[in-house]
Amino acid sequence: MGIANEEALKQLRSLMEDVDDSLRESYRNIHQGYPTENLLRFLKARDWNVQKAHKMLLECLEWRAQNEIDKILTKPIIPADLYRAIRDTQLVGVSGYSKEGLPVIAIGVGLSTYDKASVHYYVQSHIQMNEYRDRVVLPSASKKQGRPICTCLKVLDMSGLKLSALSQIKLMTAITTIDDLNYPEKTETYYIVNVPYIFSACWKTIKPLLQERTKKKIQVLKGCGKDELLKIMDYESLPHFCKREGSGSGRHISNGTVDNCFSLDHSFHQELYSYVKQQAMVKGSSAPIRHGSVHVMFPEPDTEGTKIFDTLESEFQKLGNDQKI
């Protein structure tokens, strides 16, 4: 870190010493005992501008307080059949860890349909996975590695991506904006695999709109990406859709266990769901767990985000018109 960046870190640390008492619990939940690494994330997200990073961090804390994000891991999605339906249509999971100890998060972009529950349930589920990652998975990885592990790797499976994904743009905009503004710089690298023509066509238009910092994080791999990914993780940690060509995001059973990390039957989701239900019981004592989704305010996307999603929507429409012709 250069002298200028060290000075920026020092200034932001000083500013955060005066954080309001009502926001301190949220601040602790964000940094999980690693305040320096946390401050660096917000500084990177705002290109080392101290005032902008400070504003972003305070707005993040206020968003958490207003939406009771610190309590979201005490609010399980019930009944279990509804949660299973969400898991089957919002394809996300942890497949393992890289050789450096970073969690590997797999996302089935192409086959996620988001059509079995309301937008609020999907957003609640997404935030719960973020919070479980930050409060349980990353601290556990840090303890195991003996050093701060504050970021993850993401492998995005594009198999099955269709023009009908246009109907999900609004939800994806909300989720991406929540991540950009409240969970910045949590992903070390994005690996994109099983790329169909529709993605390649859109990528040529979207890539120039991305910040240079973001572009450097994205790697589009050939086929299922197996050979490249095995350089940074063991075979056991590969997402199931990377273990053989053409496997996609379907369901796979290996040696009697669920190999599909998207499934509610996978160990990651079993542990996450059990954790949330247990926290609910601790919080509510003997009170019954409430049904219904958590309603979270969707922050407005920044100018760059709006431009990207508008461009993506336009490209999908063009491709749709070309198909009709």
Backbone angles phi, psi at 312, to 5 degrees: -60, -45
Q: Which of 111-120, 251-260, 282-291 has the highest mean pLDDT?
A: 111-120
Q: Return the minimum-mean-pLDDT range out of 55-64, 104-113, 167-176, 293-302.
A: 293-302
Backbone angles phi, psi at 69, to 5 degrees: -65, -30
Would 173 be classed as within a structural domain? yes
Identify the pLDDT of residue 131.
97
Claim to verify: residue 158 and residue 36 sit in the same structural domain: no
Identify the pLDDT of residue 162.
79
Claim to verify: residue 29 and residue 165 sit in the same structural domain: no
Would 164 be classed as within a structural domain? yes
Is the pLDDT assigned to residue 284 strictly greater than 70?
A: no
CATH of the domain at 28: 1.10.8
Q: Contact at 8 Å (CB) between 13 and 39?
A: yes
Would 263 be classed as within a structural domain? no
Identify the pLDDT of residue 125.
96
Backbone angles phi, psi at 244, to 5 degrees: -160, 150
Residue whose entry in the numeric block shows the structure tokens 């905009």: 173
Residue that wins the pLDDT comparison between 121 and 258: 121
Burial class (CB in 10 A: 0-12, 13-18, 19+), 4: exposed
Would 288 be classed as within a structural domain? no
Residue that wins the pLDDT comparison between 207 and 309: 207
Report the C-alpha gap between 311 and 325 in whole angstroms.
21
Would 218 be classed as within a structural domain? yes
Claim to verify: residue 97 and residue 231 sit in the same structural domain: yes
Would 222 be classed as within a structural domain? yes
Burial class (CB in 10 A: 0-12, 13-18, 19+), 84: middle
Identify the pLDDT of residue 256.
46
Is the pLDDT assigned to residue 215 strictly greater than 80?
A: yes
Would 304 be classed as within a structural domain? no
Q: What is the pLDDT of residues 1-12, one digit of tens each?
A: 688 899 999 999
CATH of the domain at 117: 3.40.525.10
Claim to verify: residue 100 and residue 221 sit in the same structural domain: yes
Q: Return the minimum-mean-pLDDT range out of 49-58, 101-110, 201-210.
A: 201-210
Identify the pLDDT of residue 33.
92
Q: What is the pLDDT of residues 166-200, one digit of tens each?
A: 667 788 888 999 999 999 999 999 999 999 888 88
Q: Return the minimum-mean-pLDDT range out of 83-97, 239-253, 269-283, 308-322.
A: 308-322
Identify the pLDDT of residue 85.
97
Claim to verify: residue 117 and residue 218 sit in the same structural domain: yes
Is the pLDDT assigned to residue 88 strictly greater than 90?
A: yes
Identify the pLDDT of residue 132.
98
How far is residue 211 from each of residues 25, 44, 216, 280, 308, measured CA to CA in Å? Answer: 32, 12, 9, 40, 11
Is the pLDDT assigned to residue 208 strictly greater than 90?
A: no
Claim to verify: residue 23 and residue 152 sit in the same structural domain: no
Using a CB cutoff of 8 Å and minimum separation of 24, what contacts does 115-121 make? 115/89, 116/82, 116/85, 116/86, 116/88, 116/89, 117/82, 117/85, 117/86, 117/89, 117/293, 118/293, 119/170, 119/171, 119/174, 120/293, 120/294, 120/295, 120/296, 121/77, 121/82, 121/86, 121/293
User: Among 193, 220, 247, which residue terminates a domain?
Assistant: 247
Q: What is the pLDDT of residues 34-60, one digit of tens each?
A: 999 999 999 999 999 999 999 999 999
Claim to verify: residue 199 and residue 161 sit in the same structural domain: yes
* Average pLDDT estimate for 229-253: 80
Chain mean pLDDT for the chain: 88
Task: Tell me how many degrees the CA angle 145-150-154 measures, rounded to the nearest 5.
Answer: 100
Is the pLDDT assigned to residue 321 strictly greater than 70?
A: no
Claim to verify: residue 233 and residue 104 sit in the same structural domain: yes
Residue that wins the pLDDT comparison between 92 and 298: 92
Burial class (CB in 10 A: 0-12, 13-18, 19+), 14: exposed
Claim to verify: residue 188 and residue 98 sit in the same structural domain: yes
Claim to verify: residue 178 and residue 235 sit in the same structural domain: yes
DSSP assignments along 154-216, one per residue: EEEE-TT--GGGGGGHHHHHHHHHHHHHHSTT-EEEEEEES--HHHHHHHHHHGGGS-HHHHT
Number of domains in the chain: 2
Report the C-alpha gap between 42 and 306 in whole angstroms.
20
How far is residue 28 from each of residues 65, 129, 260, measured CA to CA in Å? Answer: 13, 18, 33
Would 265 be classed as within a structural domain? no
Claim to verify: residue 99 and residue 242 sit in the same structural domain: yes
Is the pLDDT assigned to residue 287 strictly greater than 80?
A: no
In one letter, which amino acid is 217? K
Identify the pLDDT of residue 312.
64
Is the pLDDT assigned to residue 95 strictly greater than 60?
A: yes
Residues 6+ apart with CB under 8 A from 38: 30, 31, 32, 150
Tokens of 288: 């019954």
Is the pLDDT assigned to residue 230 strictly greater than 60?
A: yes
Residues 6+ apart with CB under 8 A from 102: 141, 149, 151, 152, 153, 188
* Average pLDDT estimate for 21-46: 94
Claim to verify: residue 58 and residue 105 sit in the same structural domain: no
Tokens of 105: 């998060």
Report the C-alpha gap between 293 and 309 in whole angstroms.
26
**Domain span at 182:** 92-247
At residue 146 the predicted structure's pLDDT band, cuts being 50, 70 and 90, is very high
Q: Which helix (H) or strand (E) holds 289?
A: none
